[in-house]
């Protein structure tokens, strides 16, 4: 079976500091990978998705970047955090294939920028 | 623009009752729909999905109904339990791309013992 892990689970960072959230998927190969952000009491906003190593698509302009150095590894980064970057970040994966595939989420990482 | 929305932001039910959570979508090209459950502080969990060539699908205690005529999706939970308390999201795949979902804002379900 497939599993997804992301870390750290919680993070408190000062404004202007860098960020690195990591995510790995086990039990499958060549998955689609995603980073979502969820602000408090709100829905899920897609930040980045990747269909393969080194292939990153950004959905919204922002202070964040993503990288996929290995097939099942997805990293969310920032060089200088802003207060507005605070939120709940979710890594997710899906199979490739026919139209419409379920996206499976990790447990999330709480980021508080102070 | 295209959107997925929910009719009721909150729903409170008694334990043992049936729950119905509704969702409206506006993109007639959407061909795949998912319901997720999100407990406090956790990532969303897949509950059930349905494709546009179906109008009903049943799982364990859950049923999803799809009405393409009025672009409406619902999640029915039978014999609701306290453990069902969570935020429920509907999501749609808007066709054309098999790797992006659009999520609704969510409905908070509270089950009273």
A31: nearest CA partner in chain B: B99
For the stretch B91-110, pLDDT in tens is 998 765 556 788 888 899 99
Contact A55, A70 (CB under 8 A): no
The strand pair at A109-113 and A10-13 is best described as parallel
Instruction: Report residue A44 as tokens.
Output: 């899920």
B87: nearest CA partner in chain A: A41
Neighboring chain B residues of A23 at a CB cutoff of 8 Å? none
Whether chain A has a CB inside 8 Å of the CB on B56: the answer is no
Q: Is the pLDDT score of A69 beyond 80?
A: yes
DSSP percent split of chain B into helix, strand, coil, nearest 5:
5, 50, 45
The band of B3, judged by pLDDT with boundaries at 50, 70 and 90, is very low
Q: Is the pLDDT score of B7 beyond 50?
A: no
For the stretch A19-38, pLDDT in tens is 999 999 999 999 999 999 98
Average pLDDT, chain B: 88
CB atoms within 10 A of CB A1: 5
Partner-chain residue, chosen from A100, A106, A108, that has the shortest CB–CB distance to B98: A100
């Amino acid at each position: 079976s497939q599993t997804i892990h992301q870390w750290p689970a919680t993070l408190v960072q000062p404004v202007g500091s860098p960020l690195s959230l990591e995510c790995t998927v086990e039990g499958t190969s060549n998955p689609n990978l995603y980073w979502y952000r969820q602000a408090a009491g709100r829905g899920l906003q897609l930040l980045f998705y990747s269909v393969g190593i080194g292939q990153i698509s950004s959905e919204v302009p922002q202070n964040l970047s993503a990288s996929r150095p290995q097939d099942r590894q997805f990293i969310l980064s920032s060089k200088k955090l802003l207060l507005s970057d605070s939120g709940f970040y979710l890594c997710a994966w899906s199979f490739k294939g026919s139209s419409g595939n379920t996206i499976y989420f990790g447990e999330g990482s709480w980021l508080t920028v102070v | 623009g295209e959107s997925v929305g929910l009719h009721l932001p909150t729903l409170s039910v008694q334990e043992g009752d049936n729950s119905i959570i509704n969702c409206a979508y506006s993109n007639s090209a959407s061909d795949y729909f998912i319901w997720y459950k999100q407990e406090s502080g956790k990532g969303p969990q897949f509950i059930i999905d349905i494709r546009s060539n179906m109008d009903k699908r049943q799982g364990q205690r859950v049923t999803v109904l799809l009405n393409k005529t009025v672009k409406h999706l619902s999640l029915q939970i039978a014999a609701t339990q306290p453990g069902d308390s969570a935020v429920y999201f509907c999501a749609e795949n808007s066709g054309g791309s098999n790797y992006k979902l659009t999520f609704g804002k969510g409905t908070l379900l509270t089950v009273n013992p």
